[in-house]
Structure 1
Amino acid sequence: MSNASPSSNLPAIAAVLLGLACYSGMDAIMKGLVLALGAYNAIFWRMAVGFVMAAALFFAQRRRWPGRAALKVHLIRGGVTFVMGYLFFWGLGRVPLAEGIALSFIAPLIALYLAVLLLGEVIGKSAILASLLGIAGVVVILVGKMQGSFPPDAQWGVAAILGSALLYAYNLILQRQLAQIASSAEVVFFQTGIVTLLYLALAPWFAALPPAENWPFIVAAAAVAMVSLMLIIWGYARAEAQHLVSLEYTAFIWAAILGWLFFDEAVTWATFIGTALIVSGCLIVAWRRPEKAEIVEAAVA
């Protein structure tokens, strides 16, 4: 465990907060692109443009090619991100932005059970309470959705986001390991490159050239995503996960604002209450489990 003082974590915390704000902005841009182009083309073209940007940065810095161990983690994370990203953005096109972000907050609680599977840990009473709060939060959001007026396929959007959250829980573990062994430029380069190649394999069946008016948004989404990822990786390399994971919940604030501004999405009381329950469960985990950062590192050693 690190003995760093809270003040020494401030630059890392600031970087992660800014990165999360940027990522919420990217989510808003991508929601618009998904509605205009469909999930596959929105993600494929954004990733392709992002890969060009990441490659230019990676080779400009003359980074050494990673070793076999790092490449293995990059490949696993790329595959996880490929499926995770598609599920999330496909779902985001079918549910309000703030609601989609709120449902994704279940990921840290899912990570508890992944620790059981990967490390053979025993879940304590506080972890069980946290899980129950998280499940209750998801139920409240779902009940609120059933009582409101939503698109007929909204339930599939919810299912897709929850599936994405399951993969994101594992991605958090991989993210912490990569932050310790790879630079931000390397992580962005390999993530965008691997995901782009996987989407490219499907291009003969699904790819379509976007209209000219969509390209500024595609480029903006790629640039914002790259900046966001580099900021978050930079922060995770300089502070333990236990000090940073709870910052994820600030994304809900940005999602609510951006959803209201650009998509005329009102945030329901059910979403607020459900989010509060999920966040409460995650904070119990953060406060009661000071060994969390060590667990994350051990899980991927």
Structure 2
Amino acid sequence: MDETQSSALTGISLKLASVVFFVAMATCIKAAGDGVPAGQIVFFRSSMAMIPVFLYLIWRRQLHTAFHTKNPMGHLWRGLVGVSAMACGFYGLTQLPLPDAIALGYARPLLMVVLASLVLGETIRIYRWSAVAVGLVGVLVISWPLLTLFDGGFWQNGQSRGVVAVLTSAFLVAFAMILVRRLITTEKTPTIVLYFSLSATVLSLATIPFGWVPLDTPALLLLISAGVLGGLGQILLTQSYRYAEVSTIAPFEYTSIVFGIVAGYFLFGNVPQWSMIIGTAIVVAAGLYIIVREHRLGVEQKAARRFTTPQG
């Protein structure tokens, strides 16, 4: 096995490990119960994640430089959008079966294509627009059995609210990634990670007046574990990009549905419906097509730049 293959396998292994940690994080949040407000969950997810993040930065000797920023307002906006995304996502997670919440989250790359066109002005051709349209049909297939649109009880149904919350979260996460794309032009990765954890912790504290609840010991331990697992997952994800290209490791994000189905079945008794399985297959196929298309375009653009760059 050559060095390139070994590096790619390392990146894939780190990516898969990050997926396991993120699914474990989601499992802890769901197990903590739907009586915990989303803002309170965000606080534990963000504050406890700083433990492994700080240790990681200290280990890499980057902590002293991570606080230096050229764009504090950019970090603030990224924090506001990211916190809102987490709050919506965590609320939806408490209302939906674990596999369904994970599957609906796969709408993120589809929405990123839309936002990249609207916000960044990127040229999106018919092939990727078609993939987005097909993927959104898959989202509808997953969502429809969970919605109660015609019986007058839409907002009274927790699963209906959960679907709206998760899809809102997916949109906000996609928008947050657009903001990160802008941040990376002036900011280092450790700086972005650190300031997001700090801003999310501070901003989530503002939700205390809206009704935080006392936590019993099991719920407290679960939420602390969720934060630490989330921080570790973020570190593993960041490390995976050091060993392999995004197009190589991105498809392995979809393994989370397998882990989610297993955890949902054995821990919460969630039995996947055929609509969820079919809809997920459609969304995954659309997402994989977009990833392959992005990779192909990236290769073509690099080749064009090499061809047009004067030599000597």
TM-score range, shorter chain: 0.7 to 0.9
Question: What is the Cα deviation at residue 116 of structure 1?
Answer: 0.9
What are the Cα deviations for residues 55-97 of structure 1, in whole angstroms up to 9, with x where unaligned? Answer: 4654674432444336454333322210000000101111111
CA contact (8 A) 1:179 1:237 kept: no
- Counterparts of residues 5-154 of structure 1 (less than 5 Å): 5=4, 7-52=6-51, 54-55=53-54, 58=57, 61=61, 62-69=63-70, 71-146=72-147, 152-154=157-159
Measured after TM superposition, the shift of residue 120 of structure 1 is 2.1
State the Cα distance separating 1:8 from its structure 2 match: 3.1
Unaligned runs of 5+ in 2: 149-153, 302-312
Task: Indicate the residue corresponding to 1:212 in structure 2.
Answer: 217
Change (3 A) 1:53 1:243: closer
What CA distance in whole angstroms lies between the structure 2 residues aligned with 1:257 and 1:166?
26
Q: Does 1:232 align with 2:237?
A: yes
Overall identity of the aligned pairs, in %: 26
- Structure 1 runs of 4+ with >4 Å offset: 4-7, 55-62, 70-73, 173-181, 292-295
CA contact (8 A) 2:43 2:204 kept: yes
1:245 aligns to what? Answer: 250
Encode CA deviations 1:133-154: one digit per residue, 9 max, x unaligned: 111101211233359xx98221
Does the CA contact (< 8 Å) of 1:22 and 1:225 recur in 2? yes
Amino acid corresponding to residue 266 of structure 1 in structure 2? V
Root-mean-square deviation (Å): 2.9
1:126 alignment partner AA: Y
Q: Secondary structure at the match of 1:266?
A: coil
Aligned pairs, number = 289
In the other structure, the counterpart of 1:263 is: 268
Which residue identity lines up with residue 152 of structure 1 in the other structure? N
Query: Which segment drifts farther, 164-173 or 16-25?
Result: 164-173
Deviations 1:145-180 (A, max 9, x none): 359xx9822111101111111112233445567789
Provide Cα deviations, 1:177-229, integer angstroms capped at 9, x if missing partner.
77895355x54432221101001122234233422232221221111111000
Which residue in 2 is equivalent to 1:182? 188
The alignment's TM-score, normalised by the length of structure 1, stands at: 0.84
Is the contact between residue 23 and residue 225 of structure 1 (CA under 8 Å) also seen in structure 2?
yes
Shift of residue 274, structure 1, vs aligned partner: 0.2
Q: Is 1:274 equivalent to 2:275 in the alignment?
A: no
**Conserved 8 A contact 1:242-1:293:** no
Larger radius of gyration: 2
Q: Aligned to 1:64, what secondary structure does the other structure show? A: helix
- Against the structure 1 CA distance between its residues 6 and 106, is the aligned structure 2 distance closer, same or farther, given a 3 Å change threshold? farther
Counterpart for residue 299 of structure 1: none
Corresponding position of 2:162: 157
Matched position secondary structure for 2:32: helix
Q: 1:202 to 1:14 in 2, by over 3 A?
A: same
CA change 1:283–1:213 in 2 (3 A) is closer
Partner secondary structure for residue 95 of structure 2: coil
Could you tell me which amino acid in structure 2 is paired with residue 24 of structure 1?
Answer: V
SS in 2 for 1:37: coil
Change in CA separation of 1:273 and 1:40 when aligned onto 2, cut-off 3 Å: same
Q: In the TM superposition, what is the alpha-carbon distance from 1:271 to its structure 2 partner?
A: 0.5
C-alpha distance 38-294 of structure 1, shift in aligned 2 (>3 A): farther
